[in-house]
Structure 1
């Protein structure tokens, strides 16, 4: 079994593509990169490059780094800080016995290999180590798309904050529902009120306003029943009764348009106009 694993690992490490099915080759390689995205084992710097999402810069980075444990201060690639952090994390896991390591994909735990360029960590060990020590991390070269979607990491602090926010939102929702019910009750009450405001609820008309209205009505009535200086009638109405009859005939359904009411108002208006003209 060990020999088969070594043969498979040597084949994945070589520059030639693996002689597996096309579907497997596509899943093990990035779109147009010759370098495999996922491998059976990695050198620490190869793993941190993938972790930081810098696979397209892999050849340039590997050519510029002489000691993976001590990255240069500057490199021709973005996110150098992340690359340095992830490299340090991997070596920290190795040095503290958390991450199994070996040579060419064979686990040996030989501490003499720690500074060797042949130091490697297996894909399965790296994935287990990251799941345990950095559960919030789900880099694509270790975890499938379904694993990244269906198993999102939520820390204890984040979970508590989400619960507090949920309770606050529930309180706001209940308050909004109460306000909505109150507004609905007020709306229903308004709909039940009569559309015409009773006369008793209206503001009383002032004496000055009443005198103004009566003068206007009296003036119009006198004009309709009068004639010009040459004797030409201003209208076809000869008497007040004729005006009242016409109003009742055309507007009998309107409030105040009744024979008795009109005669009373017209008489009062004509008296008020005559007294005002004296």
Structure 2
């Protein structure tokens, strides 16, 4: 049984650092067995995470070749190009951490950064920040549109409430099919809005179910004609069916 390699070390060979960066430390022995040159990895290999491992390796060597990442021999920093193909080529932990923080700030592999560092210093790249800003502006526009729609519905409801007050409460009074459809559209729209939420997930009202709306209406307007559980549930059901029939 092989001893498990340490996650963090004082210095690493490039392939060791790349394996840790790609999150393949448990497969280290198998990976080393499959490759003939730590610097020149096969382009393709039927191995999970191989493409990422190859990319991490190329990034490290690219930094060494371009003078961005100090290197040396067996942990001793040197500037000797003859070491580039040597199996003794190494990179110090501190140098690798500093290089990754400068050139790949969105990367925080566990072998270089502690859990506290990964949590306390989340990194948002410029591209991510711009995308978040665009999304925020879009959500603000949608919210403003929803608020305007809510205000319109509330005004319509107010007008209808006034009209209801002046309609004689008698059996001879009737409304046309067009008017009935209009009322159902308004009631259905208000129900959908009161039970809905904004694009950001914020509920438009405190009501979560139709039953809660019915209970509140009865509690505040008990005794008024039509404000009964049976009537309200019936009218609400008709209005919601009407709205569903209009949905393409």
TM-score, normalised on structure 2?
0.62
Aligned partner of 1:100 in structure 2 is: 70
Instruction: Give the Cα separation in 1 of the matches to 2:114 and 2:3.
Output: 19
CA distance in 2, matches of 1:63, 1:76: 14
Q: Deviations over 1:56-109 (max 9, x none)?
A: 110121233332111135556311111111111101101111000011111112
Q: Does 1:141 align with 2:111?
A: yes
Tell me if the contact between 2:19 and 2:28 (Cα under 8 Å) persists in the aligned partners. Answer: yes
RMSD: 2.3
Unaligned 5+ runs, structure 1: 1-31, 204-278
User: Quick check: 1:93–1:99 contact (8 Å CA) kept in 2?
Assistant: yes
For 1:33 and 1:170, locate their aligned partners in 2 and report how far apart those are by CA, in whole Å: 55
Does the alignment pair 1:127 with 2:97? yes
Match of 2:60 among 66, 82, 90: 90
Structure 2 stretches lacking a partner, 5+ long: 175-248
Q: Distance in 1 between matches of 2:135 and 2:90?
A: 45
Match among 13, 16, 19 for residue 46 of structure 1: 16
Corresponding residue pairs, total: 171
1:148 shift after superposition: 2.2
The residue correspondences of 1:1-278 to structure 2 (distance < 5 A) are: 34-73=4-43, 75=45, 77-195=47-165, 197-198=167-168, 202=173
Q: Does the 8 Å contact 1:42/1:123 carry over to 2?
A: yes
Q: Shift in Å at residue 182 of structure 1?
A: 2.0
Q: Bigger relative contact order, structure 1 or 2, given CA contacts below 8 A and separation 6+? A: 2
CA contact (8 A) 1:38 1:142 kept: yes
Cα deviation, 1:214-233, whole Å, max 9, x if unaligned, reads xxxxxxxxxxxxxxxxxxxx
